[in-house]
Structure 1
Amino acid sequence: MQQPPLDDIRARFAAAPWEAIAPTSLGVARKVPSMLSETERKLYFWAARDWAQGRGAIVDLGCFAGGSTACLAEGQRQAGHGAPIHGYDRFTATSGVKKRVLQPAGIPPFRGRDILPVAQALLSPWSDRVTLHPGEIEENGWHGGPIEILVLDACKSTEAIDRMSQTFYPALIAGGALVIQQDYFHWRQPWIAAQMERLADHFVPLAPCPDSTMIFFCRKPPDAAALVRAACTRMRDKDLIAGVQSARARLAGFGMTDRFDHMIAAIRANPGQRIAWRFERP
């Protein structure tokens, strides 16, 4: 099935149809713990149910205990197609995260940082369609063919985003894939916006989703040369700021100007810093 014209796609996303979805439509996926907002959960569900056509895999980079993957898998299940779903994560959690996120969701206390068994149990309703890849995402690689939906929630450093983009972007379906950047508007990760600007010929911004997500349409997947030019690891602060300023101008119609201003202030307050958790609030 061929996608409609780009203007029609923009209009479809501008209407944010996922917002009208009743939370109960997500079924048992609602019970899988996640750090996503409810609106983001509904977006993931909608993308798999109403956007994807089963032409390629659904890939979730940084799925924590499986909350995002569950929403994608349940949406796909209801759509009735069976393209593979791949969830990548280190599958570890600190004691603080366990107390703040897992235990309130009904997960009994347990020792250690390993949450892979927890994720496997939580995702058991969709075990026939979900494959989990524990470990460093950048080292696991991709060998699964074309990708129709790519979710990124693990771009916590410039090195990570460079390696993930080089690994997964070339597999995106031209004129059909969605890229969902979970932390696009997060002030601690300004390199996401900067890199997407360097790849502006390849990705069309479609819509934001509270709290920090931005959705892109893949016009054409970037080749190796484009990804080298878009690399963030050696970007100077002034180039990083220029990239964020470019994103601020290009996405002005989405009403997120203050989020870009916060990113720029964070870069200036943390010169040379390229790891998210080390950023200090400006």
Structure 2
Amino acid sequence: MHFAKFLEELRFSAAGAAATVLCFSAPVQAAESPLVAGGDVGNAPYIIKNPDGTYDGFDVQMLKEIARRLGRPGYQLVDQQWSGIFAGLDARRFEFIMASTVMTEKRAEAMLFTEATHDNDYRFLSLKSGPEIKSLDDLRGKRIAVNQGNVYDQWLTARADEYKWEVARYAKNSDAVQAVLAKRADANLASAGATTWTAVKNPMLKGGLVINSGQTKGLAFRLDDTELRNKVEDAIECMKLDGTIAALQEKWLGVEAGPDSITRNVQAGYGEPGLPGYDPTPHTPDCA
């Protein structure tokens, strides 16, 4: 599928890609260069901006560890609004997307994915002083804030006629959360990890209904960058085997990884089985 058509179909705004002017080509991936990744800063707990301007969070700690295992001298995170992040990847403003990306067949036709790093359920967020959200009927006719263009936006939009809710789209999920706090929206929909973290950190908010999506998240690369995808996946597999990703998930997402969790188990081949771009060639990661 042509990339421009892919962006149009998902309503991703190319204008968001103007957030950064960096361009990268093959030499940037040299071992002497920092590992450069794109991410949506402010999407807590994945990428958090500290008061001193530094970044932290699940994705940031993953990026730092991947750079170390690849032998790269540090890392750089390029702040890119989600609505323009795929266009930013295509424009080579960064080497890959570090923001944990839900893997779908349509997306995999335009990008290469690693194997899954963790699961992705959805969860609603609302004011603690408001009514409980126990079913979708509780949101009938309500206004729901969401980060523009992501899978939660698409999920809400697909059900808008049925439940008569209004989808309010924001450039960042942090802005969507602020809309709930300001009573400009009745609820926010995001990943279960993001919602749970936000509710714990803000006493005015609470988590509600969880949607078991059956989806998983991984890292996204350009279609022509199989070599880097495979190198990063080797690092990810080692991080699964030694428990690094499981520890980060428990710390940042509040979810303990059991022995059968995708965060602990390596899948055969490179990429996500069943999706375009998957390479079933057997390999053993060098975790020395």
Does the pair score TM above 0.5? Answer: no
Q: TM-score, normalised by structure 2?
A: 0.27
When normalised by structure 1's length, the TM-score is 0.28
Q: By percentage of residues, which structure has more helix?
A: 1
Give the structure, 1 or 2, with the largest relative contact order (CA under 8 Å, sep 6 or more): 2
Higher strand share: 2
